[in-house]
Structure 1
């Protein structure tokens, strides 16, 4: 029997989500291993992505052809990279936050839709949520980020995006009561400032706030300023009896709900 919802982690925050017979590609980072210069102010000289995709170029093309739309939470290069911009057809529907609409159009994409609050696409209701990409001055410099809730009337998938645990995430959990919550983990951190995505403690806050949601933790083992690996996260969650509440998929892994 076919699953109602399928979530596949490709790498980092790049996902495919199939819901209501509609397939979304989220935050494509399609470059080969070591394609990009080290991130500035990260305290190391490690190029990224630190790992390759778990399949070859032909499967990337197949994925792009199969998806109905691309969902871009924000336009940092590790979520919307130059390779994705080059190889995704310019007429492929893109869904984005309002602040990114003009730039995506300037990049030549012809079918860009901003989610101001809510829109319906192919029978899937899509609500935009807020977030905080860090704290203080670093958070301000990281810019505006969004999450999105995909709802087919039965299952609600909350893609939290690049955010820490904050009031906006709490509000999204309260307002939408998501069945599945996808969080960007890894706790990346520059030489100055606090983590800019979720730490293990942040993820545990999500679990505590909405015990009914199934959490999927992604966004690890790909960029060099991330401080928490999958191994680290499993260890911390296990030590505090949260491991059964959080799925930590490998690159390429598909989860059925």
Structure 2
């Protein structure tokens, strides 16, 4: 026990205050910071190293909806960035889980520094990012290191087998990433995937203490089900990783994301999930774990 912590405890004993107040102390410098930006765009900080993941930086209404999507008459994104793009781009590296426009858009290609380290899921994606003018493009593998943070690419599936039979070419290959640094909580960003064996295996193998799920239940009119997770998957994550923090991302920024923050919050209450561990952030909101 540090001298400072001992002094705090002694003071509480003298004043007759409950020891539980110690839990409210400010987070240490070993806290992982997760900031929801917009849609699947998030920032994750491990002390002095910050990653920007899946940057979609265009203004409200910049892009047409995907053909066949729910609400395809509206333009995406539905909302503007909650903070200036210049602030969003303050990071040490970028991770792009796949190249769909809501994860890697034209604005990101224009505005990011061309010498920014960018990690992609495979060589094909890396080549396309290089063609956009970026000079430091790296492929995530089985244990990639960046400034003391260990990165592992994970598999995903952008819809059920039946969905991919209809729209497999359009949906393509996707991935997630696990980020680890000694002294910090392990973070698993599942990416654009439905809940399946890939997700279960990643949780079982890496035992993440923070799990970010894309949970907007994105749908197309010509297929049953969704191409990313929804509310029921929050419960699956709680059961698969008891005690982990579950963060719902990819919400209320695309017309065909058919599950709202309100629905997720109501589900958390109805299923008696811990609202301190199953989190539905607003755009721009930051958590420290």
Residues 1:30 and 1:210: Cα distance change in structure 2 (over 3 Å): same
Residues 1:205 and 1:135: Cα distance change in structure 2 (over 3 Å): same
The partner residue of 1:150 within 179, 186, 200 is 179
TM-superposed deviation, 1:4: 2.2
Partners of 1:93 and 1:164 in 2: how far apart? 28
Partners of 1:230 and 1:12 in 2: how far apart? 12
Contact conserved, 1:165 with 1:206, CA < 8 A, in 2? Answer: no
Instruction: List runs of 5+ in structure 2 lacking aligned partners.
Output: 1-27
Partners of 2:176 and 2:83 in 1: how far apart? 27
TM-score w.r.t. the length of structure 1 is 0.94
The partner residue of 1:52 within 80, 96, 106 is 80
Contact conserved, 2:61 with 2:78, CA < 8 A, in 1? Answer: yes
Q: Deviations over 1:146-189 (max 9, x none)?
A: 11011002311111100111000000000000010000011011
Partners of 2:67 and 2:108 in 1: how far apart? 22
Alignment partner of 1:184 is 2:214 = yes
TM-superposed deviation, 1:101: 1.2
Alignment partner of 1:39 is 2:70 = no
Alignment partner of 1:209 is 2:240 = yes
- Map 1:121-140 onto structure 2 (within 5 A): 121-139=146-164, 140=168
Q: CA RMSD in A?
A: 1.3
Partners of 1:69 and 1:38 in 2: how far apart? 28
Instruction: List runs of 5+ in structure 1 lacking aligned partners.
Output: none
| Secondary structure of the structure 2 residue equivalent to 1:183 | strand
Alignment partner of 1:73 is 2:105 = no
Contact conserved, 1:123 with 1:152, CA < 8 A, in 2? Answer: yes
Partners of 2:54 and 2:31 in 1: how far apart? 22
Partner of 1:7: 34
| Secondary structure of the structure 1 residue equivalent to 2:153 | strand
Partners of 1:255 and 1:222 in 2: how far apart? 20
TM-score w.r.t. the length of structure 2 is 0.84
Q: Deviations over 1:17-36 (max 9, x none)?
A: 11142011011111111111
Q: Deviations over 1:182-222 (max 9, x none)?
A: 00011011002220111111221111111121100010100
Partners of 2:134 and 2:255 in 1: how far apart? 30
Aligned length, in residue pairs: 253
Partners of 1:160 and 1:178 in 2: how far apart? 11
Which has the greater radius of gyration? 2
